Structure 1
């Protein structure tokens, strides 16, 4: 399991419990009605397209949490490159248990593998630069932990996990506060009063706002939001390495390389988690 602050065995077990409750409810009556409780079964996870596999560790936890007597053999590693026909794992034991957990395993792995594959593909486009690809909070409700895990397995970085673990002063915060200076000073006073040690990132929309952030200081990151390439390059030169710079806002696969070559440190792409196609994976009896 990745060493990620939001990821723990306890949280994953709770996710699995709720997901099984949602899917199984009072019982998998299709299976209960057609398969005897002592029927032995075995199935393998078949990869049907090329990409990056993700979610094998989670699949193993799902199987064991539902039925500790199942036997799971993991044949690949999360983050591996895969091709059609590859086998990710083999599960043996109660046929009923395999049938009941099949859809949850596939839902998670197909989604995670799609995210990991997209992250890997985009990261390769900017591998010649210092920029690193990051995700955002544009995730599926109650599935964020799993989606952000998949981004890391694909070679990307996680941005803040949620509202509580980092301060990000976006355009609406700045406008409601009455400007960048007030937003930063109010935030620093609040953090000091509450005894909170949180990183502060400030979104900027133009060079004047970048200049104002530099004058106020006391922050940790500057976001360059929806800036054209020329403005981004000027911002990079203006900041001069004093703060890490994140580019954000409408960045696509077609523009990613050009943005990275402007000299920013990070590029956040919401599409990694909110606009991605799941990988084709099946669990088949044999």
Structure 2
């Protein structure tokens, strides 16, 4: 789901199509994200238009600047609105690569960070609210996404996204629109090289959605294709060769 749409809905705007709203109701990840953003907006508005502005401690602004990737002092040291620098455009992916992933310093801000930027320019009242947003334990940044298309013999579809958490760790989030596996098998999530010359198993997908921690040293430039396979209870840890869906990660 588009982050800007979730941000607009959190702000109380009328946005999105009927199918978009239906997806949010059915998708646990989108529902949680919308609830989190709505909490932030509620906190921002709780002070009221007549509330006195409270200057936060200097370290609060340092944390906001660090979260937004601003130079030291860019966020300012008072509650006066300060224009934020425009984000640098991300590099275009080469056309001949199946699943390019941009470096981790070229990330597209998620809606949560957009609202954190609003806090930095004075849209959130009070230093306490600014500190809470800048230190959200669940703040994430999406660095790549994939559309998962069905392989021959399957009619499933889905999506995947690579998120970085506030502590720098990475998670692959997989959402699959397909019925449960048969009683004789289970579904397993993999990252493949584009030429299928190497693969890494991330674990079993139970249900339609799953979150999988990525090893710190795993190079997403090499293992850039998401694959979900149907596996049998045969004791063989290797890929069965029966892929349900597959798709390249794109920044």
Greater strand content: 2
Which structure has the larger Rg? 1
Q: Which has the higher contact order (CA 8 A, sep 6+)?
A: 1
- TM superposition score normalised by structure 2: 0.30
Q: Which has the higher helix share?
A: 1
